[in-house]
Structure 1
């Protein structure tokens, strides 16, 4: 009898997410060093194991706050590496902090370059990524659209608590009482390291409006140069429509949760004027005049 194919870390994590039943916030979230994380796929043991995780200098690490284009960029790099190597690359670990320490052990067996991602703040990223001078791609998205996308993700993800209304979610979002903490704290911490030559930041909005230029920058940053024809191929394969159509294959029953709209400006459908002003004030307090603040092009994308 033929042996069944062993599931990848990614497939096992998706199975866990899909089988989780909605329950109380106290059961679905846990606090680790002042930040909330989903308890079904994150644990204290995993965070402790990450402290000794061995990065490689040719790893491809993507860092994002939740719902800022993570899965999109993972798929883009998957297509780029597969094209350069002329063979399918296994996407094994969606987030380095997800799962259990045994998953990190299996990750050691993966050939280079390994495509990895994380929602962790800079201080929590395994130190070996910094010591090895691994190249890190940061993707940021305007906070208002990120909040709307995160709200809808909470609603559709069994592993996260359900909010009765957008207004209740917004209150927690603006105060950082959501998974992975404050959007603004996250961006502020990464802004301190954005001038490091091993770190490059791109915005979700720039990728949506000028994909070929941004893809060229990303591929050159990772020293995976593409021809114009290859850029067009990657763009076709990673368009939102294409990824949504394939989402059941890539993300199972949770495909719609991961790929909802992928739009710019959706925040205008839910934000009240007062909520919009609250985010404006946070931006002025934390990000105005910073490099990442400028990259967000806030006036263009976040004003009524």
Structure 2
């Protein structure tokens, strides 16, 4: 992270240093997560550290750079995995850009995370192409502004049963201590509340994951939108890496495709996170970002009745779309 701070103009370094300090404090054991509260914008409730004011500023004031890539995902659908694949597609063959992209503080490139002032840093990232992340619903992203700058959006899709289980385990982390009254640690209660849209996941009351997909699905036939499926990435990573690279208009030879597939496999990324090999890996380890990364592990948690209930809810929400899920490989 210090490498990124050093690359900034002097007048921008203080806010970047504050961001780095906050990240280091959060990775320690003394940070008071219980004091963090939800915020709200346009009826959407934001989980702590995801800030409504930052999202508003991004929508109203942030100017996307030409050819920006936006990775739009709901939590626990493969965000960090896909972000690393994109990073390696863009910068894996350039030692300097690769090192710098690894050194970026993870909250910096997420549109809605941390304080609004951080948005002023984005234009100073010394990389040839901007990659931004967001968990925001389509309504809260200034998509038309992005489109005018020839931006591209990668939307992640993962089956909702595995996503729910992954979200359940993730919320057990101390980073959710301020939400214990809203997000249950009991699986049965957790799932019941979740599918009723009671979790403040940058959603309106009554909304959850399928509503996020519905928003972005309005643009599914546009040339600058790619829906990338978690299970397809697991089934045939090299095929999906080529598809993603083609969408991003980056040429990759077979050797690089194979190398990216190997270095972004779950085992490889888990080892990097456990070792804290780079700054972003240290954050992923601290936040327990990587648990299993499997397809079908939902069967260890769902009862038959719970599985049938989710099938029914998904059919009601998405039955009129062409969005389909793969629940086992």
Per the TM superposition, whether the score is higher than 0.5 is yes
CA contact (8 A) 1:17 1:159 kept: no
Please name the residue that 1:146 is paired with. Answer: 163
2:101 matched to which residue of 1? 90
Q: After TM superposition, give the deviation of residue 86 of structure 1 in Å.
A: 4.6
Q: Which residue in 2 is equivalent to 1:101? A: 116
Report deviation, 1:9: 8.3
Tell me the equivalent position of 2:52: 44
- Checking the alignment, whether the CA contact within 8 Å between 2:54 and 2:111 is kept in structure 1 is no
Structure 1 residue 207 and structure 2 residue 224: aligned? no
Change (3 A) 1:136 1:253: closer
The match for 1:55 among 64, 69, 79 is 64
Q: Does the 8 Å CA contact 1:58/1:112 hold for their aligned counterparts?
A: no
Distance 2:202 2:166 in 1: 15
- Stretch deviating more after TM superposition (89-98 or 231-240): 89-98
**Aligned runs of 1:253-292 on 2, under 5 Å?**
255=285, 257-291=288-322
TM-score of the pair, normalised by structure 2: 0.81
Tell me how far 1:11 sits from its aligned partner: 4.3
CA, structure 1 residues 101+30, in 2 after alignment: closer, same or farther (shift >3 Å)?
closer
Give per-residue Cα distances to partners, 1:179-202, cap 9 Å, x unaligned. 133111111111111111100101
Determine the structure 2 residue equivalent to 1:252: 282
Structure 1 equivalent of residue 42 of structure 2: 33
Aligned to 2:10: none
Q: 1:82 to 1:10 in 2, by over 3 A?
A: farther
Offset, 1:159: 4.0
SS at match of 1:54: coil
Trace 1:101-180 onto structure 2 (pairs within 5 A).
101-110=116-125, 111-127=127-143, 128-159=145-176, 161-162=179-180, 163-178=184-199, 179-180=201-202
Q: How does 1:167-246 map to 2 (within 5 A)?
A: 167-178=188-199, 179-181=201-203, 182-246=208-272
SS in 2 for 1:230: helix
Match in the other structure for 1:21 = 32
TM-score of the two chains, using structure 1 as the length reference = 0.87
> What is the CA–CA distance in structure 1 between the aligned matches of 2:161 and 2:246, rounded to whole Å?
30
Structure 1 residue 95: Cα displacement: 1.6
Query: Matches of 1:121 and 1:130 in 2, distance apart?
Result: 16
| Farther-moved stretch of structure 1 (99-108 vs 242-251) | 242-251
Aligned-residue RMSD, C-alpha: 2.5
| Secondary structure at the counterpart of residue 269 of structure 2 | helix
Say if 1:165 and 1:202 are closer, same or farther in 2 by CA, change over 3 A: same
Say which SS state the counterpart of residue 155 (structure 2) adopts: strand
Whole-Å separation in 2 of the counterparts to 1:57 and 1:254: 29
Could you tell me how far 1:34 is from its partner in structure 2? 2.5
CA distance in 2, matches of 1:9, 1:226: 38
